[in-house]
Amino acid sequence: MRVLVLGSGGREHALARALHRDPVVTAVHCAPGNPGTAEVADNHALDPTDPTAVTELAGRLRADLVVVGPEVVLMAGVGDALRRAGIPCFGPDRAAARIEGSKAFAKEIMAAARVPTAQARVCETSAQVDEALDTFGPPFVVKDDGLAAGKGVVVTADREAAAAHAAACGRVVIEEFLDGPEVSLFALCDGEHAVPLLPAQDFKRAYDGDEGPNTGGMGAYTPLPWAPDGLVDEIMATVVQPAVDELRRRETPYVGVLYAGLALTSAGIRVVEFNARFGDPETQVVLDRLATPLGTLLQSCAIGGLDPASRPEWRPGAAVTVVVAAEGYPDAPVKGDEITGLAEAAKVEGAYVLHAGTKTDADGRLLANGGRVLNVVGTGDTLATARTAAYAAVAEIGLRASHHRTDIALQAAESDI
């Protein structure tokens, strides 16, 4: 099987790495990829949001499967173009991807499918914003209705900050705050059936103790030792399958991975958001534990042959990923600083590094080229040993003025005895 992965971040490096390990996959290509994916795949300089260019490249490579990483690629209609050309694509078409591309549309789907979620208002004027903020009260939850690279959500007790975010976005969804721990669950879908992967938890705030601004994610871990029994089955029955059924009823079948971000509230499971692609950085830890070959799983979704009774197999143990972020992230990340110590980090037992925002210069130096620069993954028999490996590798990496959280999976590791 020849596979083309679209995107250039840590998620795509994790996907390319997992596909490279699949014995059925004979070639992995990435467009555009990054210096890390170049170690396990052939990179191609390409704008992945250009449907014509992607379709031409996939045809030239004789790709048996195209795997879409970023949501912006889906909303550009790349999946639609590939299917018209007869090329199997793991990733929904533009109509179905609106479940992430529009928070208002996602709420519409959830209401029609009776999926439990937060009460919300769609607001387009300052008067509507004021009324919604009055209705729900603090903490205020304000979401940009469109794509915002995982950074369009503000959760704050500061009403002025909430109103300012709404004004900057234009059309927003304002909703009630959901209490309780959050869980991320990926489900592989073939338009009719859905199969779950391992649940994970990520850390959105920039700094330790869940302080600072929201980010695209500063770390993640799996498994969840504190998760209640039957959680995944309940999520599939009350959240994922009803959403897939509703999209199919609307003649926009969902093919790809459906990401459900959930809060385990005192009143039960509630959906925080749906995403139309693998979450980042949860993908990095979930795929690390996957024992079932990834390529076969994704291709079965793309061609409509997913067995709803099947369940992927998982390697025992745990995985933790820590994001090394550039100076100024998330507001104004500084690019161009040299990265050192990756060879030393790779020597740490149980750890490895995925590239998220990197590039090489004319002299072959590795440079920061994004806000989230590296994902350092640690593995082990327990979350505690996985954490130890991840942070030992982080300590070997040099990047001027970079920052990372020191508490990723800390509480969970303490309970994983």
383 within some domain: yes
For the stretch 154-184, pLDDT in tens is: 889 999 999 999 999 988 999 998 889 999 9
- Are residues 20 and 54 located together in one domain of the fold? yes
Residue 152's pLDDT is what? 78
51 within some domain: yes
Last residue of a domain, one of 253, 275, 303: 303
Q: What are φ and ψ of residue 355, in 5° steps?
A: -85, 130
- Are residues 39 and 129 located together in one domain of the fold? no
131 within some domain: yes
Last residue of a domain, one of 303, 337, 357: 303
Last residue of a domain, one of 277, 303, 329: 303
110 within some domain: no
- Are residues 192 and 264 located together in one domain of the fold? yes
- Are residues 78 and 60 located together in one domain of the fold? yes
- Are residues 246 and 353 located together in one domain of the fold? no
In whole angstroms, what is the distance from residue 176 CA to residue 11 CA? 30
- Are residues 410 and 378 located together in one domain of the fold? yes
- Are residues 189 and 294 located together in one domain of the fold? yes
Report the CATH number that the domain containing residue 409 is assigned in CATH. 3.90.600.10
The answer to whether 269 touches 242, Cβ cutoff 8 Å, is no
What are the angstrom distances between the C-alpha of 381 and each of 169, 323, 357? 44, 21, 29
Token pair, residue 383, equals: 């979350």
In whole angstroms, what is the distance from residue 132 CA to residue 175 CA? 8
98 within some domain: no
81 within some domain: yes
365 within some domain: yes
32 within some domain: yes
- Are residues 167 and 186 located together in one domain of the fold? no
- Please name the residue that has the structure tokens 């179905």: 96
For the stretch 202-217, pLDDT in tens is: 999 999 999 999 899 9
Please give the chain's pLDDT, 417 residues, in tens: 999 999 999 999 999 999 999 999 999 999 999 999 999 999 999 999 999 999 999 999 999 999 999 999 999 999 999 999 999 999 999 999 999 999 889 999 999 999 999 888 999 999 999 999 999 999 999 988 877 655 578 889 999 999 999 999 988 999 998 889 999 999 999 999 999 999 999 999 999 999 999 899 999 999 999 999 999 999 999 999 999 999 999 999 999 999 999 999 998 999 999 999 999 999 999 999 999 999 999 999 999 989 988 899 999 999 999 999 999 999 999 999 999 999 999 999 999 999 999 999 999 999 999 999 999 999 999 999 999 999 999 999 999 999 999 999 999 999 876
What are the angstrom distances between the C-alpha of 47 and each of 96, 177, 178, 189, 238? 22, 37, 38, 26, 37
In the chain, the number of structural domains is 4
- Are residues 12 and 87 located together in one domain of the fold? yes
Residue 93, CB-side half-sphere exposure with 13 Å CA sphere = 14
Report the CATH number that the domain containing residue 83 is assigned in CATH. 3.40.50.20
What are the angstrom distances between the C-alpha of 257 and each of 156, 217, 411? 30, 18, 28
- Are residues 393 and 374 located together in one domain of the fold? yes
What are the angstrom distances between the C-alpha of 166 and each of 133, 169, 211, 225, 300? 10, 5, 21, 37, 41
In whole angstroms, what is the distance from residue 187 CA to residue 278 CA? 9
In whole angstroms, what is the distance from residue 175 CA to residue 103 CA? 11
Residue 399, CB-side half-sphere exposure with 13 Å CA sphere = 31
- Are residues 16 and 59 located together in one domain of the fold? yes
Domain range enclosing 148: 121-175
- Residue 178's CB: how many other CB atoms inside 10 A? 21
Report the CATH number that the domain containing residue 204 is assigned in CATH. 3.30.470.20
Report the CATH number that the domain containing residue 134 is assigned in CATH. 3.30.1490.20
The answer to whether 310 touches 38, Cβ cutoff 8 Å, is no
- Are residues 56 and 33 located together in one domain of the fold? yes
The answer to whether 271 touches 95, Cβ cutoff 8 Å, is no
